[in-house]
């Protein structure tokens, strides 16, 4: 039987930067930081704010959905890092959308000065 808990779906930003992975319904950076929760293809951050969505293993942000909220979640302990995969070619962002932030932005949010 396939162990679904171990399956990782690798994800890139719309701009082509390797971001990390989806494991179950959780989003992680490749360095192992827990970022948020998937509800379908929509991603909510730890504080319950809409972060973005995934389309064809690419992350992007829909301006009109930034008003969406979900219940806050507890941050999970750090996941073992995975090797950083190669970046992909950037895709053009359509009107009403923007690229998903790079994983480094989420790591900066965890520094003591930012808390």
**pLDDT at position 2:** 38
Find, among 78, 56, 58, 61, the residue nearest to 18 by Cα. Answer: 58
Q: Which residues is 1 bridged to in the sheet?
A: none
**pLDDT at position 107:** 74
Successive 10-residue mean pLDDT values, the chain, 115 residues: 62 97 96 96 96 95 96 94 96 95 80 38
Q: What is the 3-state secondary structure (H, E, C) of 34-51?
A: EEEEEECCEEEECCCEEE
**pLDDT at position 30:** 97
* Cβ atoms of residues 8 and 26 within 8 Å: no
**pLDDT at position 8:** 87
Q: How far apart are CA 27 and CA 59, in angstroms?
A: 11
This prediction's pTM: 0.86
pLDDT digits (tens, 9 = 90+) for 27-36: 999 999 999 9
């Amino acid at each position: 039987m396939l162990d679904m808990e171990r399956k990782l779906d690798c994800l890139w930003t719309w701009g082509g930067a390797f971001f990390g992975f989806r494991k179950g319904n959780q989003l992680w950076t490749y360095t192992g930081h827990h970022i948020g929760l998937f509800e379908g293809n929509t991603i909510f951050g730890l504080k319950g704010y809409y972060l973005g969505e995934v389309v064809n293993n690419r992350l992007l942000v829909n301006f009109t959905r930034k008003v969406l909220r979900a219940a806050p979640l507890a941050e999970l302990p750090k996941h073992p890092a995975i090797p950083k995969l190669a970046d992909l070619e950037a895709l053009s962002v359509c009107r009403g959308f923007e690229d998903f932030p790079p994983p480094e932005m989420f790591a900066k949010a965890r520094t003591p000065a930012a808390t």
